[in-house]
Structure 1
Amino acid sequence: MILRRPWKVAVFGIIGVVVLIVIFAAAFINNIGFHNIKLMYTLGTTDKQIVLMDEKGNYLAEDRSIGLLLQERMSSKGWTYVRQEGANFFFEKGNESTIVTVQQWNHNYVIYHVKDNVVNIAD
């Protein structure tokens, strides 16, 4: 006589699903980076629109009105919009000039790179 234990199958199935979820979560965090996940959380839960990613001049923002947000932020810092060439936005302030490059990071976020980090555009 064969004894069947369906509860063992269910337990192992649940454990397998939990293990897969943990593996996928770890891969997601490893791919994006824990620091960047915290920045994404900050953008999603506060009224901040642009946050500083690093000291090299990289800033993270949600993918909404990319050029308009950048022009407004630079204008508030005293910079004048000159032109756009592809992903590069050119600004001037007095006799200084700078370039801000916009890179699509994923489908919800963009990275602004301010050349030589001449201005802090974070909130």
Structure 2
Amino acid sequence: MKKLGILVALLSVGAIIIFSNKIYYPSLPIDSITQKEAIRKINTSSNDLVELSKDHNATWYITAISTMGIQKVDADIQQLMENEGWVFLEKEGSGLFFEKNEERTIITTEMWTKQYVLIQVPAPIKQ
């Protein structure tokens, strides 16, 4: 009976660690931030697109899926890019194509969970 009590206690501690650190979420394609930090950022922000990470290759954003679905995400990305002077050309799969001064770029989206989408913006776009 004592062994069963120890087993239950260990499982309880393990479950608490997993849920408090958001380990049950899929891994992120970004090394500089944890799942827990990503969820905290999106939950504490009033913005639709929340910056997660920025390096010399890309800026990563996260957004929550609304009742409007991926169309709202696409509209938010288009607004972000238009603010930087880019013109939306087309969407193909998970890529949104933009053009500015005869230069083209692709913004990619990735479903992270059923509730969240990750957005990768190439580095020359956002400074």
TM-score, length of structure 1 as denominator length: 0.71
1:27 deviates by 7.4
- Give SS of 1:107's match: coil
- For 1:89, the aligned partner's letter is L
- Give SS of 1:92's match: strand
TM-score, length of structure 2 as denominator length: 0.69
- Give SS of 1:75's match: helix
Answer yes or no: is 1:19 the counterpart of 2:21: no
Show CA shifts across 1:85-122 (max 9, x none).
Answer: 1111100111221101111111111111223x22229x
- For 1:118, the aligned partner's letter is P
Structure 1: unaligned runs, 5 residues or longer:
1-7
1:28 deviates by 1.4
Structure 2: unaligned runs, 5 residues or longer:
67-71
Q: Distance in 2 between matches of 1:52 and 1:120?
A: 13
Counterparts of residues 1-123 of structure 1 (less than 5 Å): 15=9, 18-22=12-16, 24-25=18-19, 28=23, 32=27, 35-48=34-47, 49-55=49-55, 56-57=57-58, 58-64=60-66, 65-115=72-122, 117-120=123-126
Contact residue 100 and residue 113 of structure 1 kept, 8 A: yes
Q: Distance in 1 between matches of 2:95 and 2:83?
A: 19
1:32 deviates by 4.0
Q: Which has the higher helix share?
A: 1
The change in CA–CA distance for 1:108 and 1:94 in structure 2 (over 3 A counts) is same
Contact residue 89 and residue 99 of structure 1 kept, 8 A: yes
Q: In structure 2, what is the equivalent of residue 5 of structure 1?
A: none
Single out whichever of 79-88 and 58-67 deviates more from structure 2: 58-67
RMSD over equivalenced CA pairs, Å:
3.1
Give the fraction of aligned pairs with identical amino acids, expressed as a percent. Answer: 22
